[in-house]
Structure 1
Amino acid sequence: MTQRGRATRSTGRPRGGERPGGGERPRGGDLATRRKQLRDVIEPVVSAVGYDLEDLTVSRAGRRHVVRVIVDADGGINLDAVADVSRAVSAALDAAEEAGGDILAGEYQLEVSSPGVDRPLTLPRHWRRNVGRLVKVTTRGAGALPGQRGEQPTGDRQLTGRVVEADAERVVLDTDAGRSEWTYAELGPGRVQVEFSRLDEIEESNELDDTGETGDEDDFDDEDDVEDEER
């Protein structure tokens, strides 16, 4: 079963710090450079297995690098898919290092996860994948508020509505004032809203489950504190 919540897989991978013949592998390059090098290796791998690379960060935690990879797909991504991506990315990093690339000298930790509900909606595919969800967004100008098409822009305002449609050009939101249509240029980053009434319905359904179980719960460890994160 796919899920829109957060699925995470963390892999610690010690890496040799010595070159053949002795001597430390050089550790040059700042985090921004390493991030670009990592993206060049990782993005084709993620695309090849049918997913989108939504974000990639590289950080330092003491002597270790922490590489966080966020992937997604239409319909969401489950833990099995996250594990598959993690193995493919790890193998690609190994191959890049063996080919002589100085991407991540020393130890590193690879964390692959799906986007959480707090991830902003910034691209058409983000909106498309959240059709049916309640979203809060800042609108720029009058946009397509009911009764306002053709009027002068009224400035930025907060709007909450359910995503009814989303394609490559625009989003249709169902709001208290009616349905409104917006181009992406008229929208800031959208934020999915947690609907407690729906959570109550899910909990009630779980309580009525014949097995007596209340459903799976995420049991992931909190992420390690890291320093100098570069996005």
Structure 2
Amino acid sequence: MSTTQSERLRELLEPLVSSKDLDLEEIEVASVGRKRVLRVVVDSDDGVDLDQIAEISRELSEKLDESDAMGDGEYTLEVGSPGAERPLTEHRHYLRAVGRLVKFQLTEGGDDLIARILEVDDEGVDLEVPGVKGRKPTARRLAFDAIAKARVEVEFSRKDKKEEEA
């Protein structure tokens, strides 16, 4: 049986989120002064848009109102997406980041590596490491157990895939 409020909330909300073909990425209950805030982060393989966020927010609010999962006190519900610089913590996160530039913190030595994810399989990722000082990019393979942390890097000048194909 669930012992924490976050676990109870996840059990309550995850079926509704999944029914919308979304993943429930994160639930956080925080106290902000005297108020409580319930933050829910959702995502999908295709990302989420504002209309989807609005719809799931309404439905989650109704579900929460029907239950006592948040207790009697007032709270604010915030529903959003993971954001541009999301940490990669699940296999599906790596799959969604194919083609993106990622900063990896390696388990050995704690060194950082910035590379573009080319492919993902069950054991790890195939990368393209950008060349330095005019050199060509190089290929590299990283096993998941060699990755301590990974976070998508924001690229302001990268062309969209559709532009590259045109």
User: Structure 1 length normalisation: TM-score?
Assistant: 0.60
| RMSD between superposed Cα atoms in Å | 2.1
Quote the offset at 1:179 in angstroms.
1.0
Other-structure match for 2:134: none
Q: Partner letter of residue 189 of structure 1?
A: K
Alignment of 1:20-169 (within 5 A): 33-97=4-68, 103-141=70-108, 155-169=109-123
From the CA coordinates, give the structure whose radius of gyration is larger: 1
User: How many Å separate the matches in 1 of 2:106 and 2:32?
Assistant: 39
Quote the offset at 1:168 in angstroms.
3.0
Quote the offset at 1:194 in angstroms.
2.0
Quote the offset at 1:195 in angstroms.
2.1
- Pick the structure with more strand per residue: 2
- 8 Å contact 2:106–2:149 — kept in the other structure? no
The number of aligned residues is 153
Other-structure match for 2:153: 193
Runs (5+) with no aligned partner, structure 2: 132-136
Runs (5+) with no aligned partner, structure 1: 1-31, 142-154, 206-231
User: How many Å separate the matches in 2 of 1:130 and 1:33?
Assistant: 31
User: How many Å separate the matches in 2 of 1:122 and 1:79?
Assistant: 24
Identity of aligned residues (%): 42
User: Structure 2 length normalisation: TM-score?
Assistant: 0.82
User: How many Å separate the matches in 1 of 2:5 and 2:59?
Assistant: 19
Q: 1:50 to 1:196 in 2, by over 3 A?
A: closer
SS in structure 2 at match of 1:81: helix
- 8 Å contact 1:37–1:103 — kept in the other structure? no
Where relative contact order (Cα < 8 A, 6+ residues apart) is larger, the structure is: 1
